[in-house]
């Protein structure tokens, strides 16, 4: 009988989670109890948000207990079902954790993955957490209208690249901020940004002012930190800011300082809204369907960086924060 390889949380990181905060163990093969389903994971997700889930300071979800399987979204196949709504062979996306097999009640499932013409991995990226974050962050908080200038940080990332393309589909002008020549080229050539700016080059303030002479109407912020400070200085009157991630801040303990934004917020009548996609679980299915249609039509491009083997999970979060990845980071198990 096969075992169940799992990644267990062994330490609570104060900054970015590193490989040493996890341990790969051989668990027992689980089975589906009454009302449960047994899932074989196909792909495991690696997300920047995992830093927050692991932190013991205030977050939007309970911190993950030391000694438990690392919390993660995954896409898998139902192997056995004791729940009437699921049948063996169906594909599902949900909270199945960094492990090969998960036995769970149906409430861990976020949605069924029925787009058999598309790779199931997309349900974790452009049709999942990242794409839905981009779509609903724009629609719920940014509310862009055609002609708006939309500035995106981590513009080449899994969320940012979707934000840029969806904003473009909505008739906006898109400005992507990213780091390095390779990502700049990807932003322009692949994700269709009208302008891409390298934050690693000197003169970000001036560069942004040059390309947004009327200011940014929308700022989709995945970074916080100095990049955001620059964009705030370039906000247009009545600008909307989506505060969606803090990739540029390596530690929140102690809380880092930055320029105060109150005067900008007041004089420009800016509106800033925090966005956490997990508030919109009920909208994953319809949002995913809209995104899938754009993918099929070639209007929404994505990149995946797939690594084989669960043993690569522990170091994968730190990689994201070093900006080394060029696409949604996934661990393939099967």
The site for its own copies (CB under 8 A) is made up of 52, 58-60, 221, 224-225, 228, 243-246, 249, 252, 255-276, 279
Which structure tokens are listed for 168?
Answer: 């473009």
CA distance 261 to 77: 47
Q: How far is the CB of 90 from its own copies (least distance, A)?
A: 33
Nearer to its own copies, 1 or 266 (CB): 266
CA-angle at 212, arms to 320 and 48, nearest 5°: 15
Q: How far is the CB of 52 from its own copies (least distance, A)?
A: 7
In contact, 233 and 201? CB cutoff 8 Å: no
Residue closer to its own copies (CB basis): 93 or 136? 136
Between 17 and 245, CB nearer to its own copies: 245
Cβ 163 to its own copies, closest distance in Å? 15
Tell the smallest beta-carbon distance from residue 261 to its own copies (Å). 8
Q: Cβ closer to its own copies: 49 or 207?
A: 49
Nearer to its own copies, 224 or 292 (CB): 224
- Using DSSP, state whether 112 is helix, strand or coil: strand
Minimum distance from residue 269 beta carbon to its own copies (Å):
4
User: From the CB of 75, what's the least distance to its own copies, in Å?
Assistant: 26
Nearer to its own copies (CB atom), residue 61 or residue 293? 61
Distances (CA, A) of 329 to 122, 127, 326: 11, 14, 8
Pick the closest to residue 326 from 156, 167, 162, 159 (CA basis): 156
Q: What is the dihedral of CA 316, 320, 325, 330, to 10 degrees?
A: 40
- For its own copies, the closer of residues 119 and 222 by Cβ is 222
CB of 308 to its own copies, least distance (A): 33
- Give dist(CA 110, CA 162) in Å, integer: 20
Q: Which two tokens stand for residue 271?
A: 């509106």
For 218, the token pair is 């929308």
Q: How far is the CB of 270 from its own copies (least distance, A)?
A: 5
Q: 73 - beta bridge partners?
A: 95
Of 127, 59, 120, 70, residue with least CA distance to 91: 120
For residues 95 and 252, which CB has a smaller minimum distance to its own copies in the complex?
A: 252
**Minimum distance from CB of 138 to its own copies (Å)?**
16
Burial class (CB in 10 A: 0-12, 13-18, 19+), 189: exposed
Q: For its own copies, which is the closer residue by CB, 214 or 257?
A: 257
Measured CA to CA, the distance from residue 276 to residue 236 in angstroms comes to: 24
Tell me the C-alpha to C-alpha distance, in Å, between residue 305 and each of 43, 158, 163, 241. Answer: 12, 10, 19, 29
């Amino acid at each position: 009988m096969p075992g169940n390889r799992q990644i267990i949380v062994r330490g609570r990181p104060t900054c970015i989670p590193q490989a040493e905060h996890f341990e790969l163990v051989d668990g027992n093969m689980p089975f589906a109890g009454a009302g449960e389903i047994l899932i074989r994971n196909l792909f495991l997700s690696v997300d920047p948000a995992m830093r927050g889930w692991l932190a013991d300071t205030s977050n939007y979800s309970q911190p993950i207990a030391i000694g438990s399987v690392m919390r993660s979204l995954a896409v898998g196949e139902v192997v056995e079902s004791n729940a009437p709504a699921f049948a063996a062979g169906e594909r599902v996306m949900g909270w199945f954790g960094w492990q090969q097999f998960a036995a769970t009640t149906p409430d861990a499932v976020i949605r069924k993955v029925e787009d058999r013409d598309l790779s199931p991995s997309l349900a974790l990226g452009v049709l999942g957490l990242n794409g839905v974050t981009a779509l609903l962050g724009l629609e719920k908080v940014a509310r862009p209208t055609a002609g708006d200038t939309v500035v995106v940080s981590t513009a080449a990332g899994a969320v940012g690249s979707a934000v840029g393309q969806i904003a473009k589909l909505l008739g906006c002008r898109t400005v992507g901020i990213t780091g390095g020549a390779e990502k700049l080229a990807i932003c322009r050539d692949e994700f269709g940004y009208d302008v891409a700016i390298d934050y690693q080059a000197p003169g970000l303030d001036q560069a942004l002012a040059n390309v947004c002479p009327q200011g940014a109407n929308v700022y989709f912020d995945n970074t916080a930190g100095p990049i955001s400070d620059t964009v705030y200085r370039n906000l247009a009157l009545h600008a909307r800011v989506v505060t969606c991630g803090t990739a540029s801040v390596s530690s929140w303990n102690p809380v880092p300082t930055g320029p105060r934004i109150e005067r900008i917020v007041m004089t420009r009548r800016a509106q800033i809204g925090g966005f956490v996609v997990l508030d919109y679980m009920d909208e994953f299915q319809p949002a995913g369907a809209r995104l899938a249609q754009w993918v099929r039509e070639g209007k929404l491009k994505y990149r995946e960086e797939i690594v084989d083997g669960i043993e690569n999970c522990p170091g994968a979060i730190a990689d994201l924060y070093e900006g080394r990845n060029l696409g949604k980071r996934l661990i393939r198990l099967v």
